[in-house]
Chain A
Amino acid sequence: MSRIDAVWSEQGTSPDRIEAALRQLLVEVHAEHSDFAPARVLNMIAFVDREWSGEIANRLRGVGRYHASRMVVLSYEPDREQLDARVMIAAEGDPAPGELALLRETVVVDLGDRHMDDLLTIADPLVVTDLPTLLWSPHGHHEIVSELMPLAQAVLLDSVVEPDAREAVDRALELTHEAYVVDLAWLRSTPWRERVAAMFDPTRLRRELCSLSSVTVRHHADSTAAATLLVGWLGSRLDWELGPLAVGDGGRAGTARAGDQEISVKLQTDPQLQVPGLAGVTIETAAGLSLSLDRGPGGLRARLTEPGGEPREWTIPGASRGETGVLGEGIRQALLRDPTYLPALAAARRMLA
């Protein structure tokens, strides 16, 4: 429940009036409540179809403390003639005694086709100068992303929602030329990458990285991009030569090469998985070591079989982040830079050729 909830709205408004209202509301809130301070972390511009804007609002509500400090929602309705806007300044709750609480600002601008030529000049006055800006267009509209790109340092996308994995990877690669790309499909693979890295961290297992013989990734039917990015990450970190994967029953398959070692690569759809992302990964070595990680209650279920040994199973604890958690992580990542994404993306592109 917000203690502070300052609201302004106007129909038939203009960007400078919206910006003036924002400033005025902040002054008023500060005069009344000196123990609330405006957060100054990140601008986020979301271009959404008005008919789906409720769903997007719900998703953003779920990200909690990862909410951008200034959220600008450009709500698009093709036939709209008039620019309407609402400004809200809210705090999550009361400050603890002697402490400050943070204010976050949300601006919703309803616009239509007739405003598209001026989109940049509508959005520009609404972002806080000198803060990084993250751009998100969850309902497609690639041309809008290009239009607003001069304002953005980072672009949020989700390669798994694109109907075609190859097009999704192409699109992400294209955007990397203009801004830092935060791909939710990549972030879905983070716990898997962390665990695979950790499993092979002990020296005796690390040397096995030179002789991997097969990688199988199990994934949601719509998450080929996430699975390909996981293999792309492994391949780019280990200098594999990756080739195209053939589409077959229930997934894709192909080979990679690391020196003399051939590596079998399989992406298998898992019909049981109800949420986007990965279901499991199995990595095998030429010497007969096999490691599997699979989703399970309360974490990942690990299964390790060493050459000549019995399989050992255990659970590695970790809570599921859920889709809102992944989105929140995406917003947070806009302020960081992961040097391994682009090589993984390029490797994924080779597999999807």
Chain B
Amino acid sequence: MASAAEQTGSPEQAENPLTAGLERLPVAPTTLVIFGATGDLARRKLLPALYNLAHDGALPERFHLIGVSRKEKENEDYREECEEAIKRFSRRKPDEDVLKGLLDSVKYVPGTFDDPEVYKELKTCLDAFEKEAGEPLNRAFYLSTAPSFFPVIVDQLGESELAHHPDAEVRLIIEKPFGTTLEEARELNRKVLSRFEESQVYRIDHYLGKETVQNMMAFRFANGMFEPLWNRNFIDSVQITAAEDLGIGTRADYYDEAGALRDLIQNHMLQLLCHVAMEPPVSFTAEEVRNEKVKVLKAIPEPTVAEIGEMALRAQYTAGHAGGEDVPGYLQEEGVPEGSKTETYAALRLEVDNWRWAGVPFYLRTGKRLARKVTEIAVTLKPVPHLAFSQDGSLGVQPNQLVLTLQPNEGVSLRLGAKIPGTRMIIRPVNMEFLYGTAFLSQSPEAYERLITDAMRGDATLFTRNDEVEAQWRICDPIVKAWHPSQEPGPPVATYPAGSQGPAEADGLLREGDRWRAI
């Protein structure tokens, strides 16, 4: 067997010959700076993800963490907070020695994000880590703050000359939401790209870090049997559902501003649609995959004001029963403003106007307090053109349906027609099920573990590009505007009882003969 050195020339010119066969690829030495270091996301997701990477030996050879936040505190106090958060939220019980090793060099920089002194202090810390290492260290700035601070931090990083480094990579990781309207997204993109190159920017959509979403690409592009069917000739409709059985909990402040459309459809669900509808990329590099996704988004027409009533529906849950208990309606939830029109349910009918998908409706729906928690993509095939036997006594000869379940119970189910045992030719639908959990030994890493590693490695495949974000907003922005409280009276807000299948009015979006799948 030829070694990598033989295949690619001398190690000096070639890729690292020692990485062949390794499951875990090297990550360049990096200092990660978390803005919003004491916030909920940092405590619940980012710090536990960093611990688990450390536990698995997956952090860079040299790794440092700096937390930046408004609250005044000492390094030691912040380390204790990190330790507490990791012990509470890590998916595995921390090893004390590993935890100590991770936290030993953690620094904390207090101050407001618009204060240039904060960035001077930050630079001092970054330089000290480099001096100690004796080599330049890559820098990753993770914006885990309220979105209103994104432009402020980006500006300050630029002003303090932290956006570039002559001898190392500097990366900017931005949490969602990336704007709340198309104009805001464009403005934020302009601001970010005035200080950073697009290749430095990693916009997080944590759905893309889920194994389940990545599996969709494997499902489509590693299996020859589906591709010949994957077009308007064989596929009748596509339904994408992201249903939650829980209410808004204590997130009234955020949720009443965002609503279901911006919370899930504008980002996660449009990404799922892209994965269903995209053409096979030439290669699985970041640019090729994202190019194909952008093409899909561009093929979805921007709805006109007149069309919105026919292709979009909003609704709110009312009091009902969930999990065997009485639960309040949205307007009775703590912190929700009186008379709020914010949608807790949104459904859209979209079309992808290209050669492959013309005429195939893509139905998207998401909601809180629905009957069950499920995220799935259901692809319904066209019915058979002719039935050679009577349907008398059959439970309906139904079109084949392929359901990709993302959560819970990730898997694939194919609905087929089968003969009921007996003397007559009577058909009923049966399911052929495949569950990912039954077929693999490994535990899926948390989405943030994968995304943080990819960002530090400079692999942008699972991050959203600027034109992708804007293309997503272009589709949703007219609906956001039409549903804005300032639009009086605006389209009606339908209602649905908590714990139900959603509003009956959602049926109005469907083409004749189509039905929503039971949640």
Contact = CB atoms under 8 A, between A and B. Distances in A.
Interface of A: 37-42, 65-66, 69, 96, 98-100, 102, 190-191, 193-202, 206-207, 209-210, 234, 236-239, 297-299, 302, 304, 306, 309, 312, 314-319, 331-332, 335-336, 338-343
A99 B409 contact: yes
A80 to B, nearest CB: 32
Contact of A239 (B6, B27, B372, B441): B6
A40 B438 CA distance: 5
The majority secondary structure among interface residues of chain A is mixed
Contacts of A39: 437-439
A343 B1 contact: yes
A319 B135 CA distance: 26
B6 A317 contact: no
Interface stretch (B98-106, B111-119, B301-309, B470-478): B98-106
B98 A298 contact: yes
Contacts of A198: 26-27, 60-61
Given A198-B27, A299-B98, A237 B409 contact: no
Contacts of B24: 194
A233 to B, nearest CB: 8
Contacts of A191: 57
A98 B373 contact: yes
Nearest to A63: B441
Nearest to A258: B5
A255 B101 CA distance: 37
A237 B28 CA distance: 21
7 contacts: A98-B408, A202-B29, A234-B18, A236-B3, A238-B5, A239-B3, A338-B21
B107 to A, nearest CB: 15
Nearest to B136: A202
Contact of B442 (A102, A200, A298, A332): A332
B334 interface: no
A309 B134 contact: yes
A205 B125 CA distance: 25
A316 B98 contact: no
B57, B63, B95, B97 interface centre (most CB from chain A within 10 Å): B57
Contacts of A239: 3, 5-6
Interface in B58-77: 59-63
B338 interface: no
Given A338-B21, A339-B21, A210 B61 contact: no
B250 interface: no
B59 A98 contact: no
A229 B380 CA distance: 53
Contacts of B409: 98-100
Contacts of B55: 317-319
A294 to B, nearest CB: 14
Given A100-B435, A317-B63, A331-B441, 9 more contacts: A100-B408, A190-B22, A194-B57, A316-B59, A317-B54, A318-B55, A319-B55, A338-B21, A340-B21
B440 interface: yes
A206 B12 contact: yes
B445 to A, nearest CB: 13
B340 interface: no
Nearest to B104: A315
B14 to A, nearest CB: 8
A50 B16 CA distance: 47
B4 interface: yes
B133 interface: yes
A290 B144 CA distance: 39
A319 B95 contact: yes
A316 B57 CA distance: 8
Nearest to B51: A317
Nearest to B6: A239
Contact of A210 (B11, B57, B96): B11
Interface string B24-50: 101111000000000000000000000
Nearest to B372: A98
A343 B135 CA distance: 34
Given A65-B441, A299-B101, A318 B56 contact: yes
Contacts of B18: 193, 196-197, 200-201, 209, 234, 237-238
Contacts of A319: 55-57, 95, 97-98
Contacts of A40: 438-439
Given A96-B408, A194-B57, A202 B28 contact: yes
A107 B1 CA distance: 39
A338 B435 CA distance: 26
B16 A341 contact: no
A66 B440 CA distance: 9
A297 B96 CA distance: 9
Given A198-B27, A207-B12, A238-B5, A318 B57 contact: yes
Nearest to B58: A318
- In this complex, the member of A66, A202, A338 whose beta carbon has the largest number of chain B beta carbons within 10 angstroms is A202
Contact of B3 (A312, A331, A343): A343
Nearest to B440: A41
Contact of B19 (A37, A197, A207, A306): A197
A317 B438 contact: no
Interface in B273-332: none
Given A339-B1, A340-B20, A315 B438 contact: no
Contacts of A38: 438
Given A39-B438, A65-B443, A318-B98, A194 B12 contact: no
A196 B97 CA distance: 22
B354 interface: no
A237 B437 contact: no
Contacts of A302: 61
B439 A193 contact: no
Contacts of B99: 298
Given A98-B408, A200-B18, A332-B442, A317 B3 contact: no
